[in-house]
Chains A and B, each alone.
Chain A
Amino acid sequence: MRVLTAIIAIAVGILILLGYFLPQAAVVQVVLLDWAIVLAGTAALIGVFNLVAVHAEKIRRKEKNGVYSAILIIGLFASFLFGLVLKPQSDFMQFVVLEGVIIPVEASLMALLAVSLLYAAVRLLRRRADVMSVFFVLAASLIFLGSVTLPFGDIPLIGTLIRPWVSQILALGGARGILIGVALGALTTGLRVLFGVDRPYGGR
């Protein structure tokens, strides 16, 4: 099984990579990607099933927060069954499920961030007042002061000169370094899988 899974992963990876360079291999690439979409969708359903299983177990064991697990399972089955019968684009799903539950809760959780982020920034300065955190707070304050509309009007220079320069040159330089670093890390991880060094599917 170990050899078979490694052969499948490496062969599929090479065939898909070939599709980027050889037009003849592009057809195979499209078919393989189509299969991957179906299988990733099935894996997502298995994930939802696992969520149900974990919370059903909590209810069965009568754990302390079992009532919340029951709410989760009821909500899950209700939206899944209505979604299956009515389809996700139906008015009921769009109005009640999306606009009634999902979007308001997401927006409210985002709103909570306004308080928790401020608290975290203050704690950062208290606990770790090093070069990075000083520049972090300085840049955040400058950009924020340059962006907001103040009752007495814009602060001279900050909104027109300093904020654009900090966000478009200084911050962009750092962001570019971070992005290239992340991409290099992803590239190395991908290559390690394609060479069979790493086998996250359970080979080694």
Chain B
Amino acid sequence: MFPFFDLIAGTLAFFLTLMILSYLIGDNPLFKIAVYLFVGVASGYAAAVVFWQVLYPKLFQPTAVILQSGDYARGGLLVAPWLGFAFILMKISPRLAGIARITMAFLVGVGAAVTVAGALTGTILPQANATINFFDQDYAAARNIGAFEALGNGAILLAGAVASLAYFHFGARQKTDGSTRRFGSVELLAWVGRVFIGVTLGAIFAGVYAAALTALIERVSYLVNFVQSLLALF
């Protein structure tokens, strides 16, 4: 069974790779077919994953167990998700879509709370702590970094973080001639911030470009290998 699936997958992958890479000579119907097929297949796959890994184990299966056992008292916790499920399905009908707002409000409330907690405990505090750690002499000694070097690096890193934040500060005061301008110190910090943000985006660009180049080499090598293995059959 596996070699048969392997052959189908390999052939599909070969033609789809060619169709996508044909975009290098310009937008064309082959590229569009591959992209539309990809969006359709990926959406269908995602929907199947949602059914089997979320809805079935968390909603349908527990409900079926309760219905079979007749122990309806245990089903109390399933009433709310079933109601939410029914309300959100109303979105399909434009006339009843307003009822889905109740479920959307629930989801937005959960999302907002998780975002607040996540931003605070997952980003702001760890990033601030990591910046402070650069000034920690014991931490520097453990990494075989001299005190002077650690202080210098820490100062540059702190300056980069503060200046980059200042770049996104758009508070300004109005001058007598009606024009608005940022405070001088903020303007200066923002200029330094532009340098740091430019370097950061450049570093990210280099990483993404290296990954894209690796993908290109891998795809071309896949095409060559596929043709070679086909030729070897004859």
B-binding residues in A (CB < 8 A)? 1, 4-6, 8-17, 20, 31-46, 48-49, 51, 65, 68-69, 71-84, 87-88, 91-93, 95-115, 117-118, 121, 130-141, 143-144, 147-148, 166-167, 169-184, 186-187, 189-191, 193-194, 200-203
Contact = CB atoms under 8 A, between A and B. Distances in A.
Nearest to B196: A174
Contacts of B114: 16, 33
Given A13-B109, A88-B45, A88-B52, A171 B200 contact: yes
B133 to A, nearest CB: 12
Given A44-B46, A140-B205, A102 B24 contact: no
Contacts of B208: 113, 117
B186 interface: no
Contact of B39 (A33, A72, A84, A144): A72
Interface residues of B, number: 121
Contact of A200 (B40, B45, B108, B202): B108
A134 B47 CA distance: 45
Contact of B119 (A73, A93, A141, A187): A187
A4 B104 CA distance: 12
Contacts of B218: 107, 111
A91 B1 CA distance: 9
A69 B121 CA distance: 43
Interface of B: 1-2, 5-6, 8-13, 16-17, 20-21, 23-24, 32-55, 58-59, 77, 80-81, 84-85, 88-89, 91-92, 98, 101-124, 127-128, 130-131, 153, 156-165, 167-168, 191, 193-213, 215-216, 218-220, 222
A176 B123 CA distance: 9
A35 B36 contact: no
Nearest to A92: B5
A6 B93 CA distance: 23
Contacts of A65: 32
Ordered nearest first, which 5 A-B pairs have the shortest CB separation? A173-B160, A83-B48, A177-B164, A139-B202, A75-B40
A178 B40 CA distance: 35
